[in-house]
Amino acid sequence: MRRRHLTLFPIVIALVIAAYQYFGAEKTVNPETGRKARVALSTDQEAALGLQSYREVLSQSETITTGPDYAMVERVARRLAAAVGNDAQGFQWQVALIRNDQANAFCLPGGKIAVYTGILPYTQNEAALAAVMGHEMGHAIARHGSQRMLQTSLTQTLLAGAQYSFTDMDTRQRMMVMAALGVGAQYGVLLPFSREHETEADEMGLIYMARAGYDPHEAVRFWERMNSAGGSQPPQFLSTHPAHATRIRDLEALMPKAEAEYAKSSHAESSR
């Protein structure tokens, strides 16, 4: 008797479950770009998790609460929050400056912002810092974390269905097939999905900083400095983030829109 290598039933069940997960998930529309997506969590759940994570990070970090760097971070956060306006309904903004050499910043759901001192040598000025912080705020406002959670859950459901469908296959063959499917999901679905979020957050941050009265050209100059800083960067298709050169090109393409927002800003004259 010929041995079966593929059983379709588990794949069909996985597809049904994935469809239920997807169509049962909440719809969201990016208030700045208009892009539609589905998310795994409600805004209340996101905010609760964001606050919990924020408190954990701060409890394990050395925060700076005085001095010119903190005053700058706090000022940028205040101006950006005003520029964001109704895009961040229900957010309770908080900002912290963390003494850490990592060139990093983040904004968690609900509006919990942290800037690491290691990013300041690269930003070099307030407007470039606004580009970084606006980008991170864009992630939270667009609910990118919740979108990634749903995407990961869907991928895991489908991979589990595939695995059960190959139970009759030789063990070594099955492992090779599942490894290939896993790589395909990672590089064909999850990483491009993440890069799409980064590009969207770049666009949102550029508009927010311009609306807040910060020269949007400083966003390009920041990424030029990051590009010149050296260090290894994986090929774009292997990375969660676009290549620096790609980000610069995309930001330059968006500059006319950002310049129009900057021209309308009440802060523009004082920021020049």
Residues designated catalytic:
136
Question: What does the alpha-carbon distance between residue 11 and residue 127 come to, in Å, rounded to a whole number?
Answer: 51
Q: Are 17 and 64 in contact (CB under 8 A)?
A: no
Question: What does the alpha-carbon distance between residue 137 and residue 77 come to, in Å, rounded to a whole number?
Answer: 9
**181 Cβ contact partners less than 8 Å away, ≥ 6 residues apart:** 159, 162
Q: Tell me 212's DSSP state.
A: T
Question: What does the alpha-carbon distance between residue 95 and residue 83 come to, in Å, rounded to a whole number?
Answer: 16
Q: Are 233 and 239 in contact (CB under 8 A)?
A: yes
Q: Are 207 and 261 in contact (CB under 8 A)?
A: yes
Question: What does the alpha-carbon distance between residue 223 and residue 219 come to, in Å, rounded to a whole number?
Answer: 7
Q: Are 199 and 242 in contact (CB under 8 A)?
A: yes
Q: Are 216 and 255 in contact (CB under 8 A)?
A: yes
Q: Are 163 and 14 in contact (CB under 8 A)?
A: no
**CB-count burial class (<10 Å; 0-12, 13-18, 19+) for 233:** middle
Q: Are 212 and 126 in contact (CB under 8 A)?
A: no
